[in-house]
Structure 1
Amino acid sequence: MLKNFRNTLIATTLAAALIAPAASFAQPMGQDKDDKPKAEKKEGKEGHPVIRQSIRQLENVKRELTTKAASDFGGHKAAAIKSIDEAIEHLNQALNFDKK
């Protein structure tokens, strides 16, 4: 069970780290910004729902690790939490980069 949880944590962290840069710059092919319905438009900025969802998922995983997971993992749990914090920080930086 521990191995399964660890693999899920690693996969989620890596997925968020790999998806964030691609999702922040990706645009559908053949679609101009003016073709979007008014409901999807924001004041010059995109909402980046994938990045925001990834942040929420990482925060949930971190909360699970800190509150429910056992503590005898030889420092690996602490390292995983640190990696989650770094991934969240990178995703927040990606969101802030779009605001410039």
Structure 2
Amino acid sequence: MLERVAQQLKELSPANAKYARWGGEEFTLLLPEHSLEQAINAVRIIQQSIEQHDFSDLAPLLNITVSVGVASVENAGDYNRLLNHADQALYRAKQTGRNKVESELS
């Protein structure tokens, strides 16, 4: 299942995006040259596309959703803070209903 989500991520991400499995069921997506607003819009498209994708060949009636935390290096200042801001936003997305996109400014 994670391979299929990764494939969707690859297909739906902007051309200059870099992505990797971060651990467990988490992925990171770096969107260079995207403002925070542009990144939020890009990941909303990905989130909604994965939600609507037909995964029934893996299991009947299988629905996969994603929760996303978005952060900007401009607001973080350094790599560790960037990851921390994104992680906090992801935690909020999971705690407030899942299958949504939250940003560090939400």
The TM-score normalised by the length of structure 1 is 0.37
Bigger RCO (CA 8 Å, 6+ sep): 1
Looking at secondary structure, tell me which structure has more helix per residue: 1
Question: Who wins on radius of gyration, i.e. which is larger?
Answer: 1
Looking at secondary structure, tell me which structure has more strand per residue: 2
The TM-score normalised by the length of structure 2 is 0.35
